Amino acid sequence: MKPASACTSAVPDDPDWLTDVVAAIEAGKAVRKELPNGGRLHVDRALPFLCIHVAGQDSAPVAREITQANASYLIAPDAATATPIVSAVGALLDRRFGAFMVLEMGELARDELLTDKAPFLPPFTIEVTTGKKGPIRAAAQAFIAAIEAIQVKFRTPRVEFHEWPEGRRTADEALEVPFPLMRVRFAPVYRQRDSGKIFPELRERLIASIFDAGLHAFAAFAKSTKGLTISTHRALGRKAFIDAVVRTDRSIDEIASAFDFLLAVTPINAEAAWNEFAASDYARAPRFLYRPLTLQVEAAKRKLFSIPFEHLEDPVLYQLYREKQQELDLQLSILSARETAKFIEFGRALYGPIEAGLLRAAKDVLARINKTTGKAGGSSPAPVECADCDFVERRAREMIAEYARRCSDFAARVEVRDDLPPGLLVSGHRLLIALSTTMPVDRVEAILSHEIGVHLLTYFNGSAQGLRLFRSGLAGYEGMQEGLAVFAEFLAGGMTSERLRLIAARVVACAAMLDGASLPEAYRLLAHEHGLPQADAFNVVLRVYRGGGLVKDAIYLRGLLQLLDHLANGGALEPFWMGKIAASHFGVMQELSARGLLGGPAVRPMFLDHPKAPMRLERARSGMTPLDLLDN
């Protein structure tokens, strides 16, 4: 979020501009001031530190990026410009917190340790210079410890620690400020020594690692001086989105909203395809028909990769948007390859292969359910009371109305359509119900908890976070999202052996498809060997072989297993309701929440109010397998 009271104008002609800046900080306002020659003062909020980069005549772009990743920073063209700004801002913050430190970030002129004759990549130098004792020494020790703990892939940092001479800094030190100062200089290992060409991956790792080490230093200083209490060093990061983040977010969302990936790869002739398949005595794969694409893939990709990320000033957000860009690129590639041999491989790149452990878990579910129920050879379950699409629609509207009563922004739409296979599908803020949908009445609440209580709820909660990325979904979110949705069915008391068997069958069918099995072969595997009813077996292979072969349906069981492990290891559910996130982003969400960039969920799932939900959740925390979900 960006404070409405932020002071963001350029430096005025008024010589009292610095006084105005200090007054703004004292009043609790954010400050973003442009300085001559490309400089900038940015103060997200009052904190007992300032990170500085004195640009000078040398090009040190990574030092600049590390500096401006901080919540409070100064980019100055020279020391003469920096000194009065640091003195004025620091005096205020020193009075408020009882202490104030300066971290000056810069680069060494050359990577001296790298030579053409080196048999392997040697370490690179990071120089740390500070005082001999006190809080600033604690900050330096924390910085060095964080640097030495870096897990590197290319070059290992070698820290050289220096102390300022007693009573002064150094003879050649131009920046003189009346506060504890720590100076960091690192070798420019992100670029080739002679050509100057950039190593992009190394550059990103360097920025993220040194920035994080700087936060460790600030946290150690704050702890040593008792000027600020924080839960984690990451809480000292930015607490507001700058305009560049909002622009990037809107640009990414514009592309993500330009197409509906699932609708684009879902056949529109499911019933006719089933009839065609049955007429061939289940021997020939039917022809699937699809909606025409509503976008030109190449044009969308050009637009996607024209979005600039270099001005985000936040390594965490930079990484999130880069990941989303890569995911959108893969989705667009999949769409461009629809009904071709490449479709399968692009899908494998997006959703991953079928891991051996996942396939074992799926086969175990199928074997144990078949053994328990005695069903085999495509036999049908006993007759049960069924709900049609009208019943499901009516109950869905009632559930959405209750969510809207609890959160006025929960403005979901319900559509009944005749161009979908039987079942329900969420697309953005819409719940789509196939006209051919029928299901047991006692499954309705569970499936609506899945679609509305997880997919729609995280869409609207993500919308409330200020960035659209959290509603469209962080890269790779779908696995955990589907795992949560299946777990919601359990918490709502609606998990059945038929449902769990279907989820496991999807994994088996995906594995068979990736191994080269045809649609009829996969169908026979499910119907004859694993005992699925004919309609269920066809519904599974339709989903798995759509578009040319899509491995997406394996994520339901994979996500469920990940979620059960997460809960058994003491993990919380609350961050997952804040938006559409992957399991790998759990720490990121916690960090952004600690910084104040994200708020709590606008509305919590209603299925958590089920009388037995607390007991079921507690059981999951003690350790469960997917089969344990059947014990409602």
Residue 317 pLDDT level (bands cut at 50, 70, 90)? very high
Is there a single domain that holds both residue 62 and residue 210? yes
According to DSSP, residue 407 is labeled -
Is there a single domain that holds both residue 128 and residue 202? yes
Residue 110 pLDDT level (bands cut at 50, 70, 90)? confident
Phi, psi of 244 (to 5 degrees): -60, -35
Share of the chain above pLDDT 70, in %: 92
Share of the chain above pLDDT 90, in %: 75
Helices (H), 407-496: 444-450, 457-463, 469-472, 478-491
Query: Strands, DSSP E only, in 237-278?
Result: none
pLDDT at position 377 is 40
Which amino acid, residue 148?
E
Residue 440 forms part of a structural domain: yes
pLDDT in tens, 536-547: 999 999 999 999
Residue 272 forms part of a structural domain: no
Is there a single domain that holds both residue 394 and residue 408? yes
pLDDT at position 191 is 87
Residues 6 or more apart whose Cβ sits within 8 Å of residue 360: none
Residues 6 or more apart whose Cβ sits within 8 Å of residue 237: 70, 71, 215, 314, 316, 591, 595
Hunting for tokens 């589907």 — which residue is that? 482
pLDDT in tens, 177-187: 889 999 999 99
Residue that finishes a domain, picked among 286, 305, 336: 336
pLDDT at position 307 is 95
Residue 264 forms part of a structural domain: no
Residue 419 forms part of a structural domain: yes
Is the Cβ–Cβ distance between 147 and 181 less than 8 Å? Answer: no
Is there a single domain that holds both residue 318 and residue 365? no
Is the Cβ–Cβ distance between 365 and 497 less than 8 Å? Answer: no
Is there a single domain that holds both residue 305 and residue 428? no
pLDDT in tens, 207-265: 999 999 999 999 999 999 998 999 899 999 988 888 999 999 999 999 999 999 999 99
Tell me what the mean pLDDT of segment 414-440 comes to. 95
Least confident stretch, 46-60, 107-121, 315-329, 362-376: 107-121
Domain count, the chain: 3
Angle among Cα 267, 269, 274 to the nearest 5 degrees reads 105
Tell me what the mean pLDDT of segment 499-525 comes to. 97
Domain hosting 304: range is 241-258+295-336
Is there a single domain that holds both residue 509 and residue 599? yes
Query: Can you give the pTM of this predicted structure?
Result: 0.86
* The pLDDT of residue 56 is above 80: no
Residue that finishes a domain, picked among 313, 336, 359: 336
Residue 195 forms part of a structural domain: yes
Is there a single domain that holds both residue 89 and residue 220? yes
According to DSSP, residue 285 is labeled P
Q: Which of 511, 498, 541 is nearest to 523 (CA)?
A: 541
CATH code of 50's domain = 3.40.630
Alpha-carbon separation of residue 360 from 241, 276, 357, 513 (angstroms) = 45, 33, 5, 16
For the chain, helix (H) and strand (E) counts, in that order, are: 23, 13
Residue 77 forms part of a structural domain: yes
**236 class by beta-carbon count within 10 Å (0-12 exposed, 13-18 middle, 19+ buried):** buried
According to DSSP, residue 509 is labeled H
Is there a single domain that holds both residue 356 and residue 317? no
pLDDT at position 170 is 45
Is there a single domain that holds both residue 307 and residue 409? no
pLDDT at position 172 is 44
pLDDT at position 57 is 65
Is there a single domain that holds both residue 227 and residue 308? no
Residue 497 forms part of a structural domain: yes
Is there a single domain that holds both residue 550 and residue 612? yes
Is there a single domain that holds both residue 451 and residue 594? yes
pLDDT at position 379 is 46
Residue 278 forms part of a structural domain: no
